[in-house]
């Protein structure tokens, strides 16, 4: 089976050390990306870790396709302990970083510890440098890109960065790349902020030459280039009016199911503002949405459908330029647009100000710069789950994560997916919405859907391990994906299942179980459908993974100072910086202070 290649680079910010360690056995077993990072996180993050503590670890990982040349592969995956959900979360982003990342000669970056000064890491195929940058305290994401351009001759395509929201530990802060592409959900930007890590750059010429079978690789590339999909013109906003008219577009913080101004913030409105074509690395599909409005001086990339919902219908805002402005603000400040928009919508409900786009933008910016003197911003920076009682609004979250647009009150299989997903109310975890929107599955009812839900969760875990864009479904089919990875689709599903179980097992150890597999609204037979899901997954009645279902990953290569013994046992307590020497065949990178 094809898999990512290259060592794990562990950077200990407390000790200012860097170690490269071979992890071939993990990559061979889990492909790369989300799968490999989840396996490492499960073994190396203490089960009782504080998401903002130095013992938490953040993983940035590539899959095998980032070393190849075909469409839909310009992405990286990021994993860590979420300050929003208190469980493991993985998220991925596109742009142009993936080839720069593997060019640095690694498959996975692991960040542990915390710096006592604000720093940027510079990772190359020759080593790691630590740059102290106090002058960039609370700098925006574009300001960080300007700095690395001026001082290093690098561009935003070489960089991940956080904005002021991450530094100020906004629980839904994102990690940004290429200025406008977000590792969005779950608050990993706040994890880097707690570590005093402002940015990481990647350069090098060590990219492995991994051959992907052709066909289907070039067939996929050719089809992506010649396709005439509406997605290429309007991104995900192309379905806004269809969803609004036939299903539900949550409106005014879930008070209503449709929005009267959907056409003014939907696909046609976005396409009118689009002024050029944009893509991700090596992708011919080019579905990105650079937009601008010269009259109001707004220029951004997007918004996509989820942002149209979060800062549009959810807030009662019906002007696409207002939504564009909010999108630009979140990218610049480093915040997930879904959680930020829904949290601000909850605030607008609490003060009776739906439709007030100016107030929404003002509050959004205040959240990123939260301080003790601004009680409202400080409260909202905690997210809806922690703020709803003070706001006197319903808690529209699952496991602490704000809902995506695809309404489980109408798409009942998607509602079930939200309830049981390890990362909460995120639409990308399984994507039951697609067969329900298309009519392949009746959107009404939950019973009998568990088996399909499990398959989709497993599939998406593999997609995020390879790593393949979620928009590639019509091109990177299941058969093609298996061919490109050199195995069978059934074997891939088994690997995906193991990744999902490891996520849940980790969360179980933190007390997340059946009581958390729930929804803030009623849908038919939810409890019975959850029991069906547990049965298909092989979970206990209380939603836990039996310990004998989790095989230890090979850990002979792990430094004993990490808290993992050479016999595979884990102390799980007091684990902080790695220090120590690398395992057999590893080499220590030099770190230089500025």
Q: Could you tell me which residues are beta bridge partners of residue 11?
A: 18, 111
Please state whether beta strands 197-202 and 119-123 pair in parallel, antiparallel, or not at all (unpaired): parallel
Whether pLDDT at 159 is above 90: yes
Give residue 572's pLDDT: 35
Whether pLDDT at 590 is above 50: no
Give residue 594's pLDDT: 38
pLDDT digits (tens, 9 = 90+) for 215-273: 999 999 999 999 999 999 999 999 999 999 999 999 999 999 999 999 999 999 999 99
Q: Please give the Cα distance from 355 to 82 (Å, whole number).
A: 31
Mean pLDDT on 352-377: 97
Give residue 553's pLDDT: 72
Give residue 68's pLDDT: 86
Whether pLDDT at 589 is above 70: no
Give residue 580's pLDDT: 28
Alpha-carbon separation of residue 1 from 28, 72, 105, 108, 206 (angstroms): 7, 20, 21, 18, 22
The mean predicted confidence, pLDDT, of the chain is 93
Give residue 551's pLDDT: 84
Q: What is the largest CA-CA distance in the chain?
A: 65
The pTM of this model reads 0.93
pLDDT digits (tens, 9 = 90+) for 263-312: 999 999 999 999 999 999 999 999 999 999 999 999 999 999 999 999 99
pLDDT bracket for residue 554 (50, 70, 90) = low
pLDDT digits (tens, 9 = 90+) for 104-129: 999 999 999 999 999 999 999 999 99
Q: Return the DSSP state at 570.
A: B
Q: Please give the Cα distance from 454 to 496 (Å, whole number).
A: 10
Report the C-alpha dihedral over residues 83, 85, 91, 93, rounded to 10 degrees.
-60
Give residue 81's pLDDT: 98
Q: Please give the Cα distance from 473 to 436 (Å, whole number).
A: 16
Whether pLDDT at 339 is above 70: yes
Q: Please give the Cα distance from 111 to 577 (Å, whole number).
A: 9
Closest CA to 66 of 5, 154, 20: 5
Say which residue the tokens 């990490």 belong to.
562
Q: Please give the Cα distance from 38 to 80 (Å, whole number).
A: 8
Instruction: Work out the burial of residue 263: count CB atoms within 10 Å of its CB; fewer than 13 is exposed, 13-18 middle, 19 or more buried.
Output: middle
SS3 283: coil
**DSSP secondary structure of 22-80:** --HHHHHHH-SHHHHHHHHHHHHS-TT--TTSTT--EEEE--GGGGS--TT---EEEEE
SS3 129: strand
Whether pLDDT at 563 is above 70: no
Alpha-carbon separation of residue 352 from 366, 402, 413 (angstroms): 19, 20, 32
Q: What percent of the chain has pLDDT over 90?
A: 91
Whether pLDDT at 560 is above 70: no
Please state whether beta strands 159-161 and 175-177 pair in parallel, antiparallel, or not at all (unpaired): antiparallel
Residues 6+ apart with CB under 8 A from 340: 172, 310, 330, 364, 367
A 10 A CB-CB count for 184 gives 28
CB 189 within 8 A of CB 175: yes
Query: What is the CA angle 278-282-283, rounded to 5?
Result: 55
Higher pLDDT, 503 or 587: 503
pLDDT bracket for residue 209 (50, 70, 90) = confident
A 10 A CB-CB count for 239 gives 18
Whether pLDDT at 564 is above 90: no
Give residue 591's pLDDT: 33
Q: What percent of the chain has pLDDT over 70?
A: 93
Whether pLDDT at 487 is above 50: yes
Rg for the chain, CA atoms, rounded: 22
Residues 6+ apart with CB under 8 A from 379: 386, 387, 390, 391
pLDDT digits (tens, 9 = 90+) for 58-117: 999 999 999 988 999 999 999 999 999 999 999 999 999 999 999 999 999 999 999 999
With b meaning 16 or more CB within 10 Å and e meaning fewer, what string describes 556-579?
ebbbeebbbeeeeebebeebbbbb
Mean pLDDT on 320-341: 98
């Amino acid at each position: 089976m094809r898999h990512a290649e290259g060592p794990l680079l562990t950077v200990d910010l407390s000790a200012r050390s860097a170690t490269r360690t071979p992890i071939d056995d993990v990559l061979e077993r889990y492909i790369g990306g989300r799968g490999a990072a989840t396996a490492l996180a499960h073994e190396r993050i203490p089960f009782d870790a504080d998401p903002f503590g130095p013992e938490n670890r953040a993983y940035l990982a590539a899959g095998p396709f980032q070393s190849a040349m075909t469409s839909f592969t310009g992405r990286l995956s990021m994993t860590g302990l979420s300050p929003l959900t208190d469980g493991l979360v993985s998220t991925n982003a596109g742009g142009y970083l993936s080839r720069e990342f593997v060019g640095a000669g690694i498959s996975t970056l692991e960040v542990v510890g915390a710096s006592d000064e604000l720093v940027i890491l510079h990772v190359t195929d020759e080593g790691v440098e630590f740059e102290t940058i106090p002058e960039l305290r609370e700098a925006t994401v574009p300001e960080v890109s300007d700095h690395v351009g001026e001082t290093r001759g690098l561009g935003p395509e070489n960089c991940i960065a956080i904005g002021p929201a991450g530094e100020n530990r906004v629980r839904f802060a994102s990690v940004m790349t290429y200025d406008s592409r977000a590792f969005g959900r779950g608050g990993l930007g706040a994890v880097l902020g707690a570590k005093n890590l402002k940015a990481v750059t990647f350069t090098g010429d060590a990219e492995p030459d991994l051959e992907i079978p052709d066909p289907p690789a070039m067939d996929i590339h050719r089809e992506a280039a010649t396709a005439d999909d509406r997605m290429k013109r309007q991104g995900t906003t192309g379905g806004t009016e269809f969803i609004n008219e036939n299903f539900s577009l949550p409106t005014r913080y879930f008070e209503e199911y449709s929005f009267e101004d959907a056409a003014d913030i939907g696909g046609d409105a976005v396409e009118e503002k689009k002024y050029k074509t944009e893509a991700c690395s090596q992708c011919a599909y080019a579905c990105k949405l650079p937009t601008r409005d010269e009259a109001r001086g707004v220029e951004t990339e997007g918004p996509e459908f989820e942002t149209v919902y979060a800062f549009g219908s959810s807030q009662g805002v019906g002007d696409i330029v207002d939504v564009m402005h909010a999108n630009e603000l979140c990218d610049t400040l480093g915040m997930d647009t879904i959680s930020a928009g829904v949290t601000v919508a909850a605030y607008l409900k609490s003060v009776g100000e739906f439709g007030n786009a100016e107030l929404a933008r003002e509050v959004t910016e205040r959240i990123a710069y939260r301080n003790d003197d601004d009680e409202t911003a400080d409260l909202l920076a905690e997210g809806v789950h922690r703020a709803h009682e003070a706001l006197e609004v319903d808690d529209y979250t699952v496991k602490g994560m704000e809902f995506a647009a695809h309404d489980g009150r109408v798409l009942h299989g998607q509602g079930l997916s939200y309830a049981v997903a390890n990362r909460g109310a995120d639409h990308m975890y399984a994507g039951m919405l697609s067969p329900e929107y298309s009519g392949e599955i009746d959107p009404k009812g939950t019973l009998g859907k568990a088996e399909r839900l499990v398959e989709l969760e497993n599939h998406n875990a593999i997609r995020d391990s390879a790593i393949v864009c979620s928009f590639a479904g019509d091109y990177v089919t299941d058969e093609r994906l298996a061919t490109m990875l050199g195995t069978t689709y059934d074997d891939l599903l088994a690997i995906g299942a193991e990744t999902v179980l490891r996520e849940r097992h980790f969360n179980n150890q933190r007390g997340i179980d059946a009581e958390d597999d729930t929804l803030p609204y009623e849908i038919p037979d939810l409890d019975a459908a959850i029991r069906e899901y547990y049965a298909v997954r092989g979970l206990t009645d209380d939603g836990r993974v039996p310990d004998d279902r989790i095989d230890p990953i090979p850990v002979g290569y792990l430094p004993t100072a990490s808290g993992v013994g050479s016999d595979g046992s884990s102390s799980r307590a007091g684990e902080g910086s790695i220090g120590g020497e690398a395992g057999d065949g590893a080499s220590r990178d030099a770190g230089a202070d500025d």
